[in-house]
Amino acid sequence: MGWRILDFTQSEVSLGTQRGNLVVKSNTSDHQQLVPFADVDVVLIGLGTGLTSGVLHQLVQYDCVTLFTDWKFVPVGGVYPYVQESTHNRIAARQLAQANASKNTLNALWQQMVRAKIQGQFAVMNQLGFAETSNRLKQLSKNTRPGDPSNCEGQAARFYFSSIAQIDIFQDEGWRRDASRGDWLNNNLNYGYTILRSYAIRSCLSSGLHPALGLFHRNRENLFNLADDLMEPFRPAIDYFLLSHIEELFGTDVRKELVAIAKSKFLSSGLTIPAVLNDLAQDIGMHLEHSKETVRIPSFEPREVVST
C-alpha cells in the first residue's frame, strides 16, 4: 500500500502511465510529473481530469483507491481493488461464512460497533466541554444491547449533533446535521466521511469479505453495506478535528487536512485509521469463520493528531 494522496479535484490535467509511474500532464502548460504507482494510496479525480481505462487498471493493480468528485469536490463514486493476492484462496470460505452468519452473531458485532461509536462521541463531547451530553452518551453506550433495538445510535446522534449546533459559531445560522445542506461543516463532514468510507471499502475487499453483506445496514441498492458498518466508530476522528480547530478552520478549504486526518494515528500503539480498519475487517472475517472467538472494536480517543 502506498502513502501519497493525489488530489486533482481542482486541476486541469491528463493522466497516463509510463513504466510503473503515473504521468501527470498539465492541460494549461508543458509541465509534466511522474509519480510511482507504488507510492500512491488514494487518487481524487475532478471534473477537469482526463484519464484512460489503462490508468485505472494500473491504479487497481497497485492497490490504489480512485475517487471521483462532483463540482463541489465531494467524492461521489470510486474504483477499488477487489482483493489482495494473499486472500484469493480464502474468499469463497469467508463469504460463505459471512452469508450464513447467525442473527445473534451479527447483532453482537453491531452492538460493539455502536458502543464504540458512542464512546468516541462521548470522548469528543467531553473534550469540548459538553458535560451533560457526555453523561447521556456514556449511559447510552452502556445501555446498547445486541442489534441495538432501542436505537441508542440514533439517540446518541441527536444529543451529539444538537450540542454541536450550540457552538457559538453555528448558533446564528441554525446549524443542523444534514448532508444535503451545503454549509461549511456539513460539506466537510461529508468529505471526511467519504474518505473514511473508501478505506472501509478497501478493508472489506482486501480481507475477502463481501462488502454488500452488512452487519446492520441492509440496503439492497447499497453495494457497500459492510463498509458503512465498519466506518461508524471512526467518524468521531473527523468530527473532533473539525470542531477542535473550528475558530481557525471555519470557512477555509480543509480537504487536504481531512485526507490526512483520515490516515492519522487512531490508537496509542501508533496504528493509523486504515491499518486499524484492515485489522478490524480481518478479525471480523476470522470471527465469522469461527477461527477467532472475540472481536475488539476500538473507539476514538482525542489526542494530538499526527498525520502520516
Binding site per annotation, positions for Mn(2+) = 153, 217, 232
**Gap between the Cα atoms of 35 and 221, Å rounded:** 36
Task: State the greatest distance between any 2 C-alpha atoms of the chain, in Å, as a whole number.
Answer: 61
Residue 72, phi then psi, degrees to nearest 5: -95, 5
How far apart, in whole angstroms, are the C-alpha atoms of residue 74 and residue 149?
A: 33
d(CA 298, CA 234): 9
Q: Are 238 and 196 in contact (CB under 8 A)?
A: yes
Position of cell 468530527?
A: 239
**Which amino acids are annotated as binding site, given as ranges?**
153, 217, 232
Contact between 183 and 173 (Cβ < 8 Å): yes
* Grid cell locating 90: 480464502
Q: Residue 35 in contact with residue 22, Cβ under 8 Å?
A: yes
Find residue 4's DSSP bridge partners.
Answer: 40
Half-sphere exposure of 270 (CA within 13 A, CB side): 1
Question: What is the chain's alpha carbon radius of gyration, rounded to the nearest angstrom?
Answer: 20
Q: Strand 32-36 vs strand 13-18: parallel, antiparallel, or unpaired?
A: unpaired
Helix then strand then coil, in percent of the chain rounded to 5, is: 50, 15, 35
d(CA 262, CA 243): 15
Question: In this structure, how many other beta carbons lie within 10 angstroms of the beta carbon of residue 14?
Answer: 18
